[in-house]
Chain A
Amino acid sequence: MNRRGRVQPLLLLLSLAVVLIALSIGKIPVSPEHWKEILLGRMDTSAPQWVALVQIRLPRILAALLIGAGLSASGTVFQGLFQNPLVSPHILGVASGSAFGAATFILLGASVPLIRIGAFLFGLLSVVMAYGLGRFHRRSPLLMLVLSGVIIGSLFSALTSFLKYIADPMERMPTIVFWLLGSLNNIGWQDLAYSAPSMVLPLFLLWLYRWRLNLFSLGEEDAKSLGENTELLKALVICCATSITASAVAISGVIGWIGLVIPHMARLLVGSDNRYALGVSMTLGALYLCLVDTLARSLSGMEIPIGILTAVIGAPTFALLLRRAFPGEGEP
C-alpha cells in the first residue's frame, strides 16, 4: 500500500517538470534566464516570450492537461462500469456524435465557437440516444447500452461521411478532416474558460466516487447486492464521462487511444483499486497528452495532428502493455 501511495506524488512532480519543459519549447523558446526574469517579476509583459507563454502556450498546455486527465478518467470509469478492459470513453458514441455536430457546423460555415458548441451538443445527443435505446423497463442492462452505443455511433459516422462527401473539396472538406484528426492548436483562454467547468466538476465528482466505482467491477448484480443503487450510479458515471468527453472533443477534436491505454498503464502501476488507479490515471493522462502535444507542435515546422500521434504512440504501447499484462498467455 505504501509503494502505491508514492506513485501519485511522484507522477505529479514529473508532470510539473514536463509542463515547465513544454512551456519553454516552441518557436519562441523561453530560456532559463527568461524564467529567472519571470520569477523575479522583471519580465516585460510586452516581451515576445511573455506573450508566447501566457497568451499561447499556457492555455494550450492547460487544455492538454485537462483533456488528458478527462479522457483517461472517463476511460477508467467506463472500463470498470462495463467490466471490459477494452472499452474507451467513446463507447457510447460521443466521438461520432461530436464529429457529426462539428462537420455540420463547419459545412454551414459557422464560426469556431459555434462549431465547438455544436460538437458538444451532438456528443451529448448521441449518448442520450444510446442511453434511451438501451433502456428497458426502467433498467439499462450494460450489454444493451454497449450495443446501442455501437448503433448510434455508426449512424453518426455514416452521416459524417456523407457530409464529407458533399462538402466542398477545396475548402470545407479539409477543415472537417483536420478537425476530426484532432488538434490543440488555437485553444485560447476563452475556449478553456467555457469548457473547463463541464470537465472539472464531473472529474471531481468521479474522483469522490472513486472507491465505490470498484463495486461495478464485481458485476452489476453483486454491486446491487452490496446495497448500491446501480442504476443511479450508472447514470451518474455516464453523465460525468459524457460531459467530460464531449467537452474534450469540442475543443480538441477526436483524440483516440488515450482513454484506452492510460487506464491500463495506471492499473499496471498501482493495481485495479480505483482508490489509487483513478487519480493515477488522471495524472498519467494529463502528463501524456501534454508530452504528445509538445511533440506535435515542435517535431517539425508543421503542426502534426495530435490524433495521429496518440495513435502512432498508443498502438505499439498498448501492444507492449498487453504482452506484459498477460505474460505466457500466448504460449502453448
Chain B
Amino acid sequence: MSEPILEVGSLSFAYPKGSEILRDLSFRLSRGERLFVVGPNGGGKSTLLRLLAGLLVKRSGQILLDGREIREWSSPALARFLAFVPQFRSPTFPFTVLETVVMGRAPYLSRFRIPGEECYRLAEESLSRVGILHLRNRLCTELSGGEWQLVNIARALTQNPSVLLLDEPTAHLDMAYKERILELIAGMTKAGITLVVVSHSPDIPLRYRSLSLLLNRERVLGFGESESVLSETNLSLVFSTPVRRIKTLEPRPREFCVPEDKPSQDRS
C-alpha cells in the first residue's frame, strides 16, 4: 500500500458539556482514494469532516495529514493542502462568482496582498473545470442552488488542494445537478485529489468503486470497500430501520438502497 495521505487513529471527540460523538475512530486513505462517510442525521459525519478540516479540535487520538499531525500545520499551509466545502448555505452579499472563487487563493497570499492577474486566471481555470466559466460575472445571490454549490466547489479547487472534504454536496439539488456533481467527484479522483464526502444516502458510494465509513455517533459499523461495508445488515443497523438493496440491470447493473415497507403502512 502506498503512503497514506490521511490517517486517523483512535480519534475521539465531544462538544463541550456534550456526550461523546466520536470514539476510537481509525482509518487511513491513500492518495487519490475516495471515502464516503455514511450515517444517519446527527451521526457525527459533519463533525468528523470539521475535525479533519481543523475547524474543531479533537479530544484525543491523532489526525495525520501527509504524515504530519494536524496541530503542527499552520492554518494557511493547511488551507493549501486541504479544502472544505461545508453544507449548503445561501450567500449574504452579492459578490460576483469570480470574486468569490478568487477567495480560494487567500492561503497563498500574504496579509496585505490583493490578488493579481495570476489569481484571477487560476480562479477562471477552476470555473471551467467545474463547467461554469460563463457565470463568472453573475452575482452569487442571483444563482440557483445548484449553480451556487458549483461555485463553492470551484472556490475549493482554487485552493489547489490535495485533499477535498465535501459535506453533503448534493443535498437540495435536482437530479441534473446531482449528476453533474457526481461526475465532478469522479473526475477529481482521476486528477489525484483525495476525497472525503459526507452523504446520508448510501446509493452514491454504491455506484462508484470507493471506500465507505459507516458511522453512527460513537459506533463505527465498518470501514472498507463500499460494496461490503454498506450491506443490508449494516445499513439496517445504522439507520435503525430495515433497509433493502435493490439491483437494476439496465442499462448497467446498479444498486439502490430503500427502506423496507412496514406492514402497518397504508399503501394503495
Residues of chain A whose beta carbon lies under 8 Å from any beta carbon of chain B:
80, 83-85, 137, 208-212, 214-215, 217-219, 221-222, 224-229, 267, 271-273, 275
Contact = CB atoms under 8 A, between A and B. Distances in A.
Interface residues of B, number: 33
B202 interface: no
B93 A229 contact: no
14 contacts: A83-B92, A85-B92, A85-B93, A210-B114, A217-B92, A218-B103, A219-B86, A224-B55, A225-B55, A225-B79, A225-B86, A226-B159, A227-B75, A267-B94
Given A219-B89, A272-B95, A224 B75 contact: yes
Contacts of A218: 100, 103
B106 A212 contact: yes
A212 B111 contact: yes
Given A227-B75, A271-B94, 13 more contacts: A83-B92, A85-B92, A85-B93, A209-B112, A211-B115, A212-B112, A217-B91, A219-B86, A225-B84, A227-B76, A229-B75, A271-B95, A273-B96
Contacts of A83: 92-93
B18 interface: no
A225 B54 CA distance: 8
Interface of B: 16, 53-55, 74-80, 83-84, 86, 89, 91-96, 99-100, 103-104, 106-107, 111-115, 159
A217 B106 contact: no
B95 A217 contact: yes
Contact of A273 (B86, B95, B107): B95
Contacts of A271: 94-96, 99
Given A222-B86, A226-B104, A273-B99, A211 B75 contact: no
A207 to B, nearest CB: 10
| Most chain B CB inside 10 Å of its own CB: which residue of A84, A226, A272 | A226
Nearest to A227: B79
Contacts of B77: 227
B93 A80 contact: yes
